[in-house]
Amino acid sequence: MGPLTLAGIERAARAELPPEIWDFIEGGSGAERTMAANPEMFGRYALRPRTLVDVSVCSLAQTLLGSLLELPVGIAPMAYHRLVDPEGETATARAAGRAGALLVAGIFASRTLEEIAAAATGPLWLQLYWLRRRDALAALIERAEAAGFGALMLTVDAPRIGHRLRDLRNGFAVPPQIRAVNLDPALMAASHRADAGSSGIADHAREQFDPTLTWDDLAWIRERSRLPLVLKGILTAEDARLAAEHGVDAVVVSNHGGRQLDGALPGLAALPEVVEALPPDFPVLLDGGVRSGTDIAVALALGARAVLVGRPVLWGLATGGEAGAARVLTLLRDELEHTMALLGRPRLAELNRTALAPWPVS
């Protein structure tokens, strides 16, 4: 029998991976306060179960931006899955398809967009950073549309890379055999070299990320694609309203897994104000700190349409490839269904704020 919780898979992955790879995946920025606060925030809520409800069937399916999700979960965009498994993103895509979950492929994926799309049987989106090289972005958008990707997700909280001390201490650089294969190698050169006290990831971002991005630049993407546009990295009501005003189709409440601004709001703390600032039918997703099916239920009760899960999927890949990643998603599915049944709320629409109370209850 394998691990029964994501915490068990995490321990197995840490034992499996080289320390510098583990630190790159697991580390946050600064003192890692925000990274630690993301999962801890879920513990501030208690559940209010209802009784004498028919829970013989719990429905976890819903539609998101025109695609059917069998599970209200997506795999968050993360770079270089081949750091932890030889098959990389194609294994992740097959695992997501088996679970009926969304996969958001990262701009720095280590398998081609076409390979990922061929392996995927479920909803598939592409994540982008705002690069100085607009021609590279335009080419990615064109390829994503041709390959059948269903939406574009622009990460907006990274005008520069956070101060990630673990990578600096390790002098971390992406190993030469692992590449962001969807981009010109010349764009990625800095990510493969680092001296002690530096980070190839941070050096690459300084060279290639464009910090001049503003709301007006979203029109550039709209001119090049009819795909839905999702913004990842929204933490305030002000930015949520601006996203709606600029025609964005969905937002992800996210602090980048605690890897950008240390001290930023935990995602779950920011979720209510973002939801309240938007129309009732505007899709809001939550990213950061989800470690159980009960966490998913809490996020949905606070107004999220779905959640994104990042590090745990890489733990699964590291310990069992496609089967390991699928195991992570299966655990989340089973825990969410179990929570919904015991809450007496067998449909996702019934997960609302009446399902929650502050913890501890006074």
pLDDT for res 204 = 82
Q: What is the pLDDT of residues 40-93, one digit of tens each?
A: 999 999 999 999 999 999 999 999 999 999 999 999 999 999 999 999 999 999
Residue 359 resides in a domain? no
Residue 357 resides in a domain? no
What is the count of structural domains for the chain?
Answer: 1
CATH number at residue 174: 3.20.20.70
Residue 1 resides in a domain? no
Residue 141 resides in a domain? yes
If one compares 184 and 35, the residue with the highest pLDDT of the two is 35
Domain encompassing residue 243: 6-348
Residue 354 resides in a domain? no
Secondary structure (H, E, C), the chain: CCCCCHHHHHHHHHHHCCHHHHHHHHCCCCCCHHHHHHHHHHHHEEECCCCCCCCCCCECCEEECCEEECCCEEECCCCCHHHCCCCCHHHHHHHHHHHCCEEEECCCCCCCHHHHHHHCCCCEEEEECCECCHHHHHHHHHHHHHHCCCCEEEECCCCCCCCCHHHHHHCCCCCCCCCCCCCCHHHHHHHHCCCCCCCHHHHHHHHHECCCCCHHHHHHHHHHCCCCEEEEEECCHHHHHHHHHCCCCEEEECCHHHCCCCCCCCHHHHHHHHHHHCCCCCCEEEECCCCCHHHHHHHHHCCCCEEEECHHHHHHHHHHHHHHHHHHHHHHHHHHHHHHHHHCCCEHHHCCHHHEEECCCC
Q: What is the pLDDT of residues 128-176, one digit of tens each?
A: 999 999 999 999 999 999 999 999 999 999 999 999 999 999 998 899 9
Residue 355 resides in a domain? no
The set of catalytic residues is: 256
Residue 324 resides in a domain? yes
Residue 360 resides in a domain? no
